[in-house]
């Protein structure tokens, strides 16, 4: 069945460091891929998405490219800020009505 695997956290970085959070997926067909972010005490919110192979989603300095050959959708940011500290969820959609979430990766950015 369809599934999403993302790297275990927590990821601890210093401010202005480069961020990568790995996400790989298993799916039949052509799913849509998402990154959602959850700040402390809040619900999830969409960070970026890509709907087909080689699409790059980007928002707030974050980027992720839909790689069909490696079944990956890694999240990157060139220079993280303290305000980026949150839990990041990779998600897969489009096969059924159910959005499939990864387990989440906690990012802690220290000043």
Partner 1 sequence: DARVTQTPRHKVTEMGQEVTMRCQPILGHNTVFWYRQTMMQGLELLAYFRNRAPLDDSGMPKDRFSAEMPDATLATLKIQPSEPRDSAVYFCASGLARGAIPSSSYEQYFGPGTRLTVT
Asked whether position 111 contacts partner 1 by CB under 8 A, the answer is no
Q: Smallest distance, Å, CB 34 to partner 1?
A: 8
Q: Smallest distance, Å, CB 81 to partner 1?
A: 23
Long-range contacts of 77-80 (CB under 8 A, 24+ apart): 77/18, 77/19, 78/18, 79/16, 79/17, 79/18, 80/13, 80/15, 80/16, 80/17, 80/18, 80/19, 80/107, 80/109
Task: Tell me which stretch binds partner 1 (CB under 8 A): 9-17, 35-43, 56-64, 67-75.
Answer: 35-43
By CB under 8 A, name the binding residues for partner 1: 32, 34, 41-46, 49, 51, 89, 92-101, 103-104
């Amino acid at each position: 069945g369809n599934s999403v695997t993302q790297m275990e956290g927590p990821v601890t970085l210093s401010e202005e460091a480069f961020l990568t959070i790995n996400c790989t997926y298993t799916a039949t067909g052509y799913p849509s891929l998402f990154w959602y972010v959850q700040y402390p005490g809040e619900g999830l919110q969409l960070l970026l998405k890509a709907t087909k192979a080689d699409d790059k989603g980007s928002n707030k300095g974050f980027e992720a490219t839909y790689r069909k050959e490696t079944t990956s959708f890694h999240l990157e940011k060139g220079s993280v800020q303290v305000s980026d500290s949150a839990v990041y969820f990779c998600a897969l959609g489009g096969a059924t009505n159910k959005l499939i979430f990864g387990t989440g990766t906690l990012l802690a950015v220290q000043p």
